[in-house]
Structure 1
Amino acid sequence: MDPFFTVVIPTGPDTDRLTLCLQALTAQTLPPDQFEVVVVDDANRPETAVVVAHFSAETRIEVRYLAQRDRRGLAAARNRGWRAARGQFIAFTDADCQPQPTWLASAQGMFRRGAMVVTGSVRAVAPRVAGQARSQPVPDITELSTANCFCQKVALERAGGFEETFDLAWREDLDLQFKFLEIGIPILRCPEAAVMQPMHPTGWYTSLNNERKKRYDALLYKRHPELFRQRIHRSEALVARQYLTVAGLVMALLAAAVSYWSVALLGMAIWLAFTGLSLMEEWSGQADLLTNAKQAGATSVASPFLSVYWRLYGAVKYRVLYF
């Protein structure tokens, strides 16, 4: 008999987090014969295959391992997982999440009452402080988080699954959410279906690296212009400030090149003013100002240029008028 659920877990090179995720599934209150697990390895690492094989041998849970020949992103990995599913109800989570014991049972109740798409709750667990772990809800930035959502397989088939052009982990969940809304499939909430997501330390440069994801905003806007305008919060003041920051420095350099010094000074003043404002915001709340001075300075200087570049890159690449 086919299982009720297929749990799809896309994963990369971090086998330690995947192990914790799989271990959490052994505590499910739903009987193990009612769900299977499909791990899709986007990194195609032998170590991951070993982890999955060991887990399968040690538990009563049926688990399958699928390796992506090429790294195509988590959207493609999720598509491969749900299309290989034996269950008619697909549970998505991420390898760095730890589903709570009633995760599947809570969602099953929603589906038995007629739901087609369900989103659960995600609780971020902060690093231990003085021997205590702290958890807090993740802000609702999307109605459908791939860290914790459930879909009837037929709903995914109707929507076409995840758009694989989103080959970084950014906006692919919103794209699927918007597709469901456009074809009239409601998304229901089930807070009792919870996963924990430990927060891991990142380098100060992470925010700069993440600027490249902004190119996908242009793609999402092109695919769903009305819903993008209605549901995506974007600080127009911040965007305008970033463009003015870039324009100020460009104006200063071009004017200096042709010896228009008054224009060059004006451009430099604009750049310094907005960069200084960003620097104060970066420093706000920092306990050790001296230690973070270089980091805040680098972020304040580089962020506007990276943000503008990746926005325009996305507009050009996806051929859409988006700023």
Structure 2
Amino acid sequence: MLGTCLTALAAQDLDATRYEIIVCDDGPDDATREAVERFAQRCASGRGMTVRYIPVTATQGPAGARNAGWRAARYSLIAFTDDDTIPDPHWLTAGIDALAMGADAASGMIMVPLQDAPTDYELDASGLARAEFATANAFVRRAWLAALGGFDERFTSAWREDSDLQFAMLQLGANVIRADQAVVVHPVRPARWGVSLSQQKKSQFEALLYRKHPALYRQRIDAGPPLRYYAIVGSLLCAAIAALAGQQRLASLALAVWGVLTAAFCAARLHHTRRDLTHIAEMGWTSALIPFLSIYWRLRGALRYKVFFL
């Protein structure tokens, strides 16, 4: 995926001497470094283009990696993308043109191709195409990054670190615009069975974003507490407590409510997704666990970042 992305970046319709490519690797390994260095040698001899590899060991996650990149950059405009995207040949030119109109930052268009019957994970990942500001395709003036200190490295997962930067800029009066002519294709990378369970850990960063920007969070993101999740968790807890108290009828009723709510959640996830037995089994198993994991990580984030966030 990285090789495909680098090839697309090297094929931009912009003079090779007007931009550089910086690869920031927060999971540094020799194979990646060697691959980037070989690519850099080809670009240097062919188009005179600069490609650099930066190992990032002080922190994990895209926030820290991108900070390492823009701080090492030599130019006043910074373009961000991910290693699994395919930027359009006109991507950089379109981003430069957008900022030339007086904007301080711009968010480009992200296209997520899906098969006719996607998995729940693929359908969820396609939501990136509707993101208001995502660093899979974003352009920011270096001066603004320096003024803000870059990305908040407490966002150690690929979740909400870009919204945090956007909100921080908006609060200081920055002009953040859309640049829909700057396009990247973002295929959904393969994922293991049950991947949605590990993704619930990202919920803690909702609390961090809310603590830092409560007004903008409520205005642009907040859909309210996940009531379905709370109902599922609450009904099973009620069943367990009632059973321990010897209230078998109440326990049975609460368990039935939990079963109905969980089945409805599973059915909703299957509504526009694949229906093969493997995927149905995955949806059944993960639908029983997701509400508990999501609530756990939301509450853990609220405690960790000392904010009332349900």
**TM > 0.5 between the two?**
yes
- Report the CA distance between 1:214 and its aligned residue: 0.5
Instruction: In structure 1, list runs of 5 or more residues that go unmatched.
Output: 1-16, 130-136
Residues 20 and 158 of structure 1: is their aligned pair in 2 closer, same or farther, counting only changes over 3 Å? same
1:125 is paired with a residue of what secondary structure? coil
Amino acid in the other structure paired with 2:82: D
* 2:145 alignment partner in structure 1: 156
Residue of 289, 294, 308 corresponding to 2:295: 308
Bigger drift between 286-295 and 212-221 goes to 286-295
Q: Secondary structure at the match of 1:192?
A: strand
**Residue 225, structure 1, aligned to residue 234, structure 2:** no
In structure 2, the partner of 1:40 is 24
Moved more, 239-248 or 286-295: 286-295
Q: Does 1:174 align with 2:174?
A: no
Q: How many residues align?
A: 298
DSSP-derived class of the 2:106 partner: strand
1:80 to 38, 44, 68: 68
In structure 2, distance between residues paired with 1:88 and 1:294: 50
Counterpart residue identity of residue 264, structure 1: A
State the distance in 2 between where 1:110 and 1:23 align. 24
Query: Which residue, out of 300, 305, 308, partners 1:318?
Result: 305
CA distance in 2, matches of 1:154, 1:296: 46
1:186 aligned residue: 175
Give TM-score scaled by structure 2 length: 0.89
Q: What SS does the aligned partner of 1:222 have?
A: helix
Which shifted more, 225-234 or 66-75?
A: 66-75
Q: 1:242 to 1:113 in 2, by over 3 A?
A: closer
Equivalent AA in structure 1 for residue 271 of structure 2 = S
Q: 2:267 matched to 1:280?
A: yes
Aligned positions of 1:1-323 closer than 5 A = 17-59=1-43, 60-126=48-114, 141-234=130-223, 236=225, 239-285=226-272, 288=275, 290-323=277-310
Contact residue 122 and residue 138 of structure 1 kept, 8 A: no
Q: Larger helix proportion, structure 1 or 2?
A: 2
Q: Deviations over 1:105-155 (max 9, x none)?
A: 1222223332221111111234699xxxxxxx9665432210111111111
Q: Is the 8 A contact 1:215 1:315 kept in 2?
A: yes
Task: Identify if the C-alpha distance between structure 1 residues 52 and 308 changes in structure 2 by more than 3 Å, giving closer, same or farther.
Answer: same
Compare relative contact order (CA 8 Å, sep 6+) and give the higher one, 1 or 2.
2
Greater displacement, 302-311 / 264-273: 264-273
Relative to 1, partners in 2 of residues 1:44 and 1:119: Cα closer, same or farther, differing over 3 Å? same
Q: Would the aligned equivalents of 2:160 and 2:205 in 1 still touch at CA under 8 Å?
A: yes
SS at 2:154 equivalent = coil
SS at match of 2:113: strand
AA partner of residue 27 (structure 1): A
CA RMSD of aligned residues (A): 2.1
Distance 1:288 1:145, change over 3 A: closer
TM-superposed CA distance for 1:185, in Å, is 0.2
What's the CA shift for 1:39?
Answer: 1.0
Tell me the secondary structure at the aligned position of residue 216 of structure 1.
Answer: helix
5+ residue gaps, structure 2, are 118-125
What is the rounded CA distance, in whole Å, between the counterparts of 2:14 and 2:243 in structure 1? 70
- Taking structure 1 as the reference length, the TM-score comes to 0.86
